[in-house]
């Protein structure tokens, strides 16, 4: 009986402690990113500074390659959905009409382990 009681108290304590743990949200920074909407494979493996063509970027995106924003300084920004609205969703559909074009994207930028993600609030083509 004593063993069961100790086990029960241990489980109860674990549940109480676990319920008090708050998942910390990463700190993002409001930013504007300027660059080209390009498929991620070409941005990384071909070391491009801009897309080969809009048709190429669209074809790769339709085949499943995630579209990214290749900034003027060479930084790759992965468009991500806001995790306040779960489940997280891919952003290709939203970016498809801008594939291959130079854009200005305003939103919240997150950086983790050398990767850069952006929750886009507003995006438009620029010349």
The C-alpha atoms of residue 92 and residue 66 are separated, in whole angstroms, by 6
- On whether residue 6 sits in a domain, the answer given is no
pLDDT in tens, 78-124: 999 988 778 888 899 999 999 999 999 999 999 999 999 999 999 99
pLDDT in tens, 64-91: 999 999 999 999 999 999 887 788 888 9
The C-alpha atoms of residue 69 and residue 102 are separated, in whole angstroms, by 9
- On whether residue 41 sits in a domain, the answer given is yes
The number of domains in the chain is 1
The C-alpha atoms of residue 37 and residue 77 are separated, in whole angstroms, by 10
- On whether residue 3 sits in a domain, the answer given is no
- On whether residue 93 sits in a domain, the answer given is yes
Residue 118 near residue 80, CB atoms below 8 Å:
yes
pLDDT in tens, 11-41: 554 444 444 444 456 789 999 999 999 999 9
- On whether residue 104 sits in a domain, the answer given is yes
- The domain of 100 spans 26-125
Q: Whole-model pTM above 0.85?
A: no
CATH number at residue 100: 2.40.50
The 8-class DSSP code of residue 85 comes to: S
- On whether residue 1 sits in a domain, the answer given is no
The C-alpha atoms of residue 48 and residue 46 are separated, in whole angstroms, by 5
């Amino acid at each position: 009986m004593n063993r069961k009681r100790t086990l029960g108290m241990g489980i109860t304590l674990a549940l109480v402690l676990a319920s008090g743990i708050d998942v910390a949200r990463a700190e993002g920074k409001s930013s504007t990113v300027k660059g080209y909407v390009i498929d991620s494979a070409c941005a990384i493996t071909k070391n491009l500074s801009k897309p080969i063509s809009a048709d190429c970027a669209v074809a790769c995106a339709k085949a499943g390659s995630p579209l990214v924003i290749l900034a003027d300084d060479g930084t790759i920004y992965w468009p991500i959905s806001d995790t306040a609205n779960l489940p997280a969703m891919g952003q290709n559909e939203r970016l498809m009409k801008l594939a291959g074009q130079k854009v200005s994207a305003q939103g919240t930028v997150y950086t983790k382990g050398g990767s850069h993600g952006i929750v886009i609030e507003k995006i438009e083509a620029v010349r």
